[in-house]
Amino acid sequence: MDTTLQDPLVGQVLDGRYRVEARIAVGGMATVYRAVDTRLDRVLALKVMHPTLAADGSFVERFIREAKSVARLAHPNVVQVFDQGADGSYVYLAMEYIAGCTLRDVLRERGALQPRAALDILEPMLAALGGAHRAGFVHRDMKPENVLIGDDGRVKVADFGLVRSVDTVTSTTGTVLGTVAYLAPEQIEHGTADPRVDVYACGVMLYEMLTGGKPHHGDSPAQILYKHVHEDVPPPSASVPGLAYELDELVAAATARTPGIRPYDAVALLARLREARAALSDEQLDAVPPQALSTEHGNAEDRTSVIPRSLTVPRPLPVNEEERHHTSRLASPAPLPPRRRPLPRRGVVSLVAALLVVLGLVAGVWYINSGQFTQVPPVLAKTEEQARARLSDAGLEVGEVRQAYSDTVRRGLVIGTDPAPGARIRDNDSVTLTVSRGPETVRVPALRGEKVADAKRTLKNEGLEPGMVTREFSDEVPRGEVLRTDPEGGVELRAGTAIAIVVSKGGPVDVPDVVGEDLADARAELLEAGLKVEVASAQINSEHEKGQVALQSPDSGGEAAEGDTVTLTLSKGPVMVEVPDVVGDSVDEAREKLEGAGFEVKEDRGLLDLFGDSVEGQSVPGGELAPKGSTITLDIG
């Protein structure tokens, strides 16, 4: 049975424009439909908030915020938002329609993916999120349902309904908004979110793509939340033996329970992904996974939910009573093997002597090859004090301590050693530590009044990236100069952050009406208004005489910036049409003939001819040429 037939919106036209054709998906806060924009005649996706939530101002605000946020993200891997509006109790977003499926559909059908396929999907996901993070937004609800895979193979991230500004402190006292299976520990414990919560969710999704199952399961949301806070995500190779070590490391980095150890944002994780991928062979990338793990644990953990904070308070898992009181039974004794005849005494002595020689040789080899050497213990992400203690326990000393900036490791933690962890080193030798100075911060320079090219150059010189450039009218700042930046000058940011630039279009100019004027007069009038003139190469027929302006773009009455260009299309003159001869015809017959030929008709009746019905004359004789659309006057008698 087609359930869409029961949906009251199917077949309706929202806002006088969007014809709803079919229901695509139902979520916790909204339903998505396939619809047609009747104005532009294009298929799109219509996301309609559940009417029960439309009365909640916070949810409506979130919807509107999604439209505005995604509209700023002009990224090929982000689902585009075209429009936002309301029709009665229905609040909607009109979005790009992607014909295809979701990553969740792929995982349900195929289970675990080959590493190459998993990375092929994750890479554009991170590119999309990286664009959002560098533009100042956090998604906060990354999950396979929000990753769309088009029939043409394109991967796009959707549903920025929980998006927040990076600079906004997102903390709640009573609830956590998100999807249980993908929530980062800090979201669960404190309700806070920055780009690293998206990094964590992507790490969980990578684990799921590589293994076919989620890393944490439980009988209730509370148990899953507890595990996110208190248990590391296991390495994928524990479930799929043979997976490359680099993939385990990538998942571990993204899902570190301490946010400071994770890559700072999706751009940093994307760099780690590409490094890991470059280290893998074709055989490792194309390794065929075993039968997929079961992912059927109910979809409650996959749905965006408002989760009571009482469920997110860490509490011990219940102890299985059966396991607590479990006692093992002794197995029946196995039959003893038959006794062998003992070796003669001389044979025993010879065997012992041989064993002593072998043990002596082994001990000597151990002393030569291992007794004087040890391995550099793992001290990455440890404090300098912890690293010194661990190195000391291994019989090693700390040599030079260097410092370096890091976007992914917080200040004071070790980001490198020389020799590297695991390397073979002589006892009592020294190890050089490199400690993170934290992310390099840069003060946004004051750029108001600078030319755009100079402003971009300044940002790069300061260690920042020029971001999106938009334009606004301004009576104060001359055209082409920077009006402001976002964030504004003086703000301290991480190096590499993108800075949006707003450029002045100058003061607004009223566009004069020059249609019907000669080209020379029209050009002079527009130049006097501070506008430039461009003449279209093609000409058109119009009611205006040849050489006069037939069309202008933009139209008169609108606003343009000083220096903007107005395009003029000149007239080729009117189309000349032969006038039908209608003298002697009835008025109705004459009107039909003339209007059919493209003319307007006017009747001229005297006082004595009010009831006449015969044409006695016409203003342009039949057989002559007249401009199409001109008026022919009939003399009625």
Catalytic residues: 141
- Give the other-Cβ count within 10 Å of 241's Cβ: 8
Instruction: Match 């919106």 to its residue by tokens.
Output: 9
Two tokens, residue 220: 């209730």
CA–CA separation, 50 and 55 (whole Å): 10
Decide: 378 and 413 in contact? Cβ < 8 Å: no
Reference 281, options 319, 242, 336, 313; nearest CA is 242
Instruction: Match 């806002």 to its residue by tokens.
Output: 15
Residues 6+ apart with CB under 8 A from 521: 514
Decide: 185 and 257 in contact? Cβ < 8 Å: yes
Helices (H) and strands (E) in the chain, counts: 17, 33
Task: For 69-127, give the DSSP string.
Answer: HHHH---TTBPPEEEEEEETTEEEEEEE---EEEHHHHHHHH-S--HHHHHHHHHHHHH
CA–CA separation, 163 and 178 (whole Å): 11
CA–CA separation, 604 and 594 (whole Å): 15
Decide: 97 and 82 in contact? Cβ < 8 Å: no
Instruction: Match 């590589």 to its residue by tokens.
Output: 210
Decide: 397 and 414 in contact? Cβ < 8 Å: no
User: In degrees, to the nearest 5, what angle opens at C-alpha 82 toward C-alphas 79 and 86?
Assistant: 120
Two tokens, residue 617: 């004359």
Residues 6+ apart with CB under 8 A from 334: none
Instruction: Match 């493209």 to its residue by tokens.
Output: 598
CA–CA separation, 535 and 549 (whole Å): 10
SS3 30: strand
Give the single-character DSSP code of 27. -
Instruction: Match 């396979």 to its residue by tokens.
Output: 144
Which one-letter amino acid corresponds to residue 321?
E
Reference 528, options 566, 474, 568; nearest CA is 566
Question: Do strands 498-504 and 465-472 pair parallel, antiparallel, or not at all (unpaired)?
Answer: parallel
- Give the other-Cβ count within 10 Å of 39's Cβ: 9
634 has which bridge partners? 603, 618
Decide: 210 and 197 in contact? Cβ < 8 Å: no
The dihedral built from the CA positions of residue 536, 541, 547 and 549, taken in this order, carries a sign that is negative
91 has which bridge partners? 86
